[in-house]
Amino acid sequence: MKEYSKLASEILDRIRCHRPVVHSITNYVVMNSTANVLLAMGASPIMAHAPEEIEDIMVISNSMVINIGTLSKHWIESMQLAARIAKITKKPFVLDPVGAGATKLRTQTACDIIKASVPTVIRGNASEILALSPQGGTTRGVDSVHTVEDALDAAKTIARSLGTVIAVTGEKDLVTDGENSLVVTGGHCLMSYVTGTGCAASVIVGAFLAEEKDPVTAAASRSRGSTSKALPPDRSNVMPSRWKTVS
Amino acid sequence: MKEYSKLASEILDRIRCHRPVVHSITNYVVMNSTANVLLAMGASPIMAHAPEEIEDIMVISNSMVINIGTLSKHWIESMQLAARIAKITKKPFVLDPVGAGATKLRTQTACDIIKASVPTVIRGNASEILALSPQGGTTRGVDSVHTVEDALDAAKTIARSLGTVIAVTGEKDLVTDGENSLVVTGGHCLMSYVTGTGCAASVIVGAFLAEEKDPVTAAASRSRGSTSKALPPDRSNVMPSRWKTVS
Amino acid sequence: MKEYSKLASEILDRIRCHRPVVHSITNYVVMNSTANVLLAMGASPIMAHAPEEIEDIMVISNSMVINIGTLSKHWIESMQLAARIAKITKKPFVLDPVGAGATKLRTQTACDIIKASVPTVIRGNASEILALSPQGGTTRGVDSVHTVEDALDAAKTIARSLGTVIAVTGEKDLVTDGENSLVVTGGHCLMSYVTGTGCAASVIVGAFLAEEKDPVTAAASRSRGSTSKALPPDRSNVMPSRWKTVS
């Protein structure tokens, strides 16, 4: 197995050195906190949703994150435009399908963006990933009512059928390209009591994608980014992330 | 008099146990902080304003909060739609008339929402509640220029005429259904130097309403929610909330 | 040279005493943090972007800040409307051209607002100010890729040609009306790793403008506001701001 801990550190060094521009079209709730997460990692965040500037933004950005947490009609159009440009320009991007399964609009918007351009990584909680699987699934809101393990089969199926990487995050993370699956431990049960920890995970994957071509490595590295950057310093000492393959 | 302190603790236990979904259509300034307040209480916040998903959101949510702090035309339409659905589905909801009295748009929007569906609780600062009274009133901005006592008569009048509960919050809180009025102490003069403490009060009332049918009890319980959750831990020790009836 | 340290303290006292209303049309990322900065200074923030209430808001506000960090068509129209009203009512206002030079939309929007009404102060990072100069300039995102010194000549040229005051902020600040230029030290290299420190500088200048007619003094005072209010208390002790004239 790859030495993910070492790889993650190396990618983080490249991020700090190159300061990649990470473009986010994201929800109002987490704009401030995810901008701070990106800055703390050494990346340069830019938040922009006007269709008139999406193309210019894509030229200067090294990766992109689309997060559907607070939707409206015009924002959906911008997200689809950004996804189409990402496809043409081969720019890596993360889709965070916040609340997929909670409302038809959210499930449909996530599916439409995937149709416009297959994301490099789809990062969601277990309920959201289940909602995107062929079997579908519903959830109560934006908080997961399923465990990461519940979503293992669905994540593999989606990854294989779309040719993408799925990252299901929670107290532990699952990363899969459909063939190879990793579980990364080192999270904390209290994370679900702070808003935007999932959204933060998505932008961290976005920053890693700007400097790492392999999306499994980029997505698996996010735990390193979280523990060393987004959580209090003592956290990484007491419970370091561990990567292990699962079948 | 009811033992509000005990009641508030019991409702808080039910919130932690059931994790009610609280739907907010709120202003950009406080989306992050109010989501965190709801999570800290044990509730599950969802922020959504697109008219296309309001109905789906209302199905999964246990209560709702409408906060008019940063308005625009399309958001006002969604607020009115949500209020109408709340009426049909008998879902409890809180109206937070941020800046009523400061601009005609805000005063009018608050009145239009009330006309669409009488809120279960209207929570505002003293100036905002005065602005909604038949005598009207103006204010300088979104910060109160009146004391809670100034708004006592106006609060009772509005409560009686609409058949709702008014919560005027500040360093002390006033809760009234027009007949029974309570003053809850335990706030702090520094709260007005932090943005969104009033908006936080509104979502806390929203969460209590999800688990408590009596709106006076739900609104009076919010102080318990604030002191035990939103303020530093030592606050609840030094100055516990006290409930007393007023005439 | 004026005793800026003493002047800044006196203006800050007036702000605390009068609680001026500072109107912001700003970006989603920093609404919460800049509202808190204004409250901490003693000012009363109001965030409003609906064209229907801009006129009412301008009547009650003592100064205004326009920040173009997250643009869309309707917001640009409101910004231009607010600028035109500021011109008619002679209300002081700050323009923060976030990301000028990064996209055509941002550069153009900043120029259009300046055309609608010359801001009392334009506050930006070095790259943004360079982008607004006749020579133009491009940048990678919203973070500066130039030093404050790089922008000295451009700042003077813009200030002279428009008859405004330019504040270029970073680890050190430059304030110029084209004739008189000041450098204010006392910043910190870590400020660029926290989102919204530039946006905070803009609202601080906005609050100072509400109580001080001389825009150079108001803009130069912001460092006092930042070090004594927005940064941890020990910062102002270890590295007090120093004002010095430059040629």
Could you report the per-residue pLDDT of C104-160, keeping only the tens digit for each? 999 999 999 999 999 999 999 999 999 999 888 777 888 888 999 999 999 999 999
**Is the model's pLDDT at A179 over the cut of 60?**
yes
Q: Give SS3 for A146.
A: coil
Query: Do residues B200 and B169 touch, judged by C-beta distance below 8 A?
Result: no
* Pick from A30, A106, A193: CB nearest B53: A106
Q: Is residue B238 one of the residues assigned to a domain? A: no
Q: Is residue B246 one of the residues assigned to a domain? A: no
What is the pLDDT, as a whole number, of residue A231? 44
Q: Give SS3 for A135.
A: coil
* Pick from C32, C36, C60: CB nearest B141: C60
**Is the model's pLDDT at C52 over the cut of 80?**
yes
Look up the CATH number of the domain holding residue B45: 3.40.1190.20
What is the pLDDT, as a whole number, of residue A92? 98
Model pLDDT for residues B99-145, shown as the tens digit of each residue: 999 999 999 999 999 999 999 999 999 999 999 998 887 788 888 88
What is the pLDDT, as a whole number, of residue A208? 97
Q: Is residue B93 one of the residues assigned to a domain? A: yes
What is the pLDDT, as a whole number, of residue A230? 41
Query: Which structure tokens are listed for B77?
Result: 């339409």
A38: Cβ contacts below 8 Å, ≥ 6 apart: A22, A44, A45, A203, A204, A206, A207
Q: Is residue A112 one of the residues assigned to a domain? A: yes
Which residue on chain B is closest to C44 by alpha carbon? Answer: B143
What is the pLDDT, as a whole number, of residue B224? 60
Given an 8 Å threshold on Cβ–Cβ distance, is C56 in contact with B143? no
When scoring B26, B27, B28 by the number of chain C Cβ atoms within 10 A, the one with the most, hence best to mutate, is B28
Q: Is residue B237 one of the residues assigned to a domain? A: no
* Cα B230 to Cα B211: distance, rounded to the nearest angstrom: 19
> Mean pLDDT throughout C3-30?
95
Query: Which structure tokens are listed for A130?
Result: 């289940």
Given an 8 Å threshold on Cβ–Cβ distance, is B72 in contact with C56? no
Compute how many other C-beta atoms are within 10 angstroms of the C-beta atom of residue B18: 14
B32 interaction partners in chain A (CB closer than 8 Å): 29-30, 32-33, 195-196
* Cα C192 to Cα C201: distance, rounded to the nearest angstrom: 12
Determine contact: B239 vs chain A, CB below 8 A: no
* Pick from A21, A40, A49: CB nearest C70: A49
**Pairing mode of beta strands B181-185, B173-176:** antiparallel
Determine contact: B189 vs chain C, CB below 8 A: no
Query: How far away is chain C from the Cα of B137, in angstroms, using its nearest Cα?
Result: 14
Q: Is residue B181 one of the residues assigned to a domain? A: yes
* Cα B23 to Cα B40: distance, rounded to the nearest angstrom: 16
Please name which of A224, A240, A241 lies closest in space to residue A41, comparing C-alpha atoms: A224
List phi, psi (to 5°) of B100. -55, 135
Which residue on chain A is closest to B56 by alpha carbon? Answer: A103
Q: Match 């040719």 to its residue by tokens.
A: A163
* Cα B15 to Cα B218: distance, rounded to the nearest angstrom: 12
Strand runs (DSSP E) across chain C, as ranges?
21-25, 44-47, 63-67, 93-96, 121-124, 165-168, 173-176, 181-185, 242-246
Give residues 55 to 94 of C whose Cβ lies within 8 Å of A. Answer: 69-73
A33 interaction partners in chain B (CB closer than 8 Å): 32
Q: Give SS3 for A242.
A: strand
Which residue on chain C is closest to B142 by alpha carbon? Answer: C46
Q: How confident is the model at residue A112 (pLDDT cuts 50, 70, 90)?
A: very high
Strand runs (DSSP E) across C88-222, as ranges?
93-96, 121-124, 165-168, 173-176, 181-185
Q: Is residue B102 one of the residues assigned to a domain? A: yes
Name beta bridge partners: B185: B242
Q: How confident is the model at residue B89 (pLDDT cuts 50, 70, 90)?
A: very high
ipTM over 0.90: yes
Which DSSP symbol is given to C100?
Answer: B
Given an 8 Å threshold on Cβ–Cβ distance, is C48 in contact with B30? no
Q: How confident is the model at residue C237 (pLDDT cuts 50, 70, 90)?
A: very low
B72 interaction partners in chain C (CB closer than 8 Å): 49-50, 74
Which residue range(s) make up the domain with C120? Answer: 4-246
Determine contact: A20 vs chain C, CB below 8 A: no
Model pLDDT for residues C88-107, shown as the tens digit of each residue: 999 999 999 999 999 999 99
**Is the model's pLDDT at C77 over the cut of 50?**
yes
Size of interface A-B (CB pairs under 8 A): 67
Query: How far away is chain C from the Cα of B5, in angstroms, using its nearest Cα?
Result: 31
Determine contact: B238 vs chain A, CB below 8 A: no
Determine contact: C144 vs chain B, CB below 8 A: no
Q: How confident is the model at residue C240 (pLDDT cuts 50, 70, 90)?
A: low
**pTM, to two decimals:** 0.93
Determine contact: B105 vs chain C, CB below 8 A: yes
Mean pLDDT for chain B overall: 91
Query: Do residues A118 and A163 touch, judged by C-beta distance below 8 A?
Result: yes
* Pick from A70, A105, A196: CB nearest B52: A105
What is the pLDDT, as a whole number, of residue A240? 59
C191 interaction partners in chain A (CB closer than 8 Å): none
Alpha-carbon dihedral angle through residues A198, A204, A206, A208, given to the nearest 10 degrees: -140
Q: How confident is the model at residue B239 (pLDDT cuts 50, 70, 90)?
A: low
Query: Do residues B60 and B233 touch, judged by C-beta distance below 8 A?
Result: no
Q: What angle do CA C7, C12, C15 make, to 5 degrees?
A: 130
Strand runs (DSSP E) across chain B, as ranges?
21-25, 44-47, 63-67, 93-96, 121-124, 165-168, 173-176, 181-185, 242-246
* Cα C208 to Cα B161: distance, rounded to the nearest angstrom: 44
* Cα A175 to Cα A218: distance, rounded to the nearest angstrom: 10
Given an 8 Å threshold on Cβ–Cβ distance, is B104 in contact with C19? no
* Pick from C21, C32, C57: CB nearest B29: C32
Query: Do residues C123 and C94 touch, judged by C-beta distance below 8 A?
Result: yes
What is the pLDDT, as a whole number, of residue C132? 97
Q: Is residue A237 one of the residues assigned to a domain? A: no
Distances (CA, A) of C111 to B7, B91, C136: 58, 48, 12
Query: Do residues C56 and C49 touch, judged by C-beta distance below 8 A?
Result: no
Q: Match 């801009």 to its residue by tokens.
A: C54
Given an 8 Å threshold on Cβ–Cβ distance, is C141 in contact with A48? no
Question: Based on the number of CB atoms within 10 Å of its own CB, is A26 exposed (0-12), middle (13-18) or buried (19 or more)?
Answer: buried
* Pick from C32, C36, C50: CB nearest B105: C50
* Pick from B39, B56, B74: CB nearest A104: B56
What is the pLDDT, as a whole number, of residue B141? 84
> Greater confidence, C2 or B21?
B21
What is the pLDDT, as a whole number, of residue A121? 98
C201: Cβ contacts below 8 Å, ≥ 6 apart: C123, C167, C169, C173, C222, C226
**Is the model's pLDDT at A238 over the cut of 50?**
no
Query: How far away is chain B from the Cα of C203, in angstroms, using its nearest Cα?
Result: 15
Q: How many folded domains does chain A comprise?
A: 1
Model pLDDT for residues A72-101, shown as the tens digit of each residue: 999 999 999 999 999 999 999 999 999 999
Given an 8 Å threshold on Cβ–Cβ distance, is A53 in contact with C106? yes
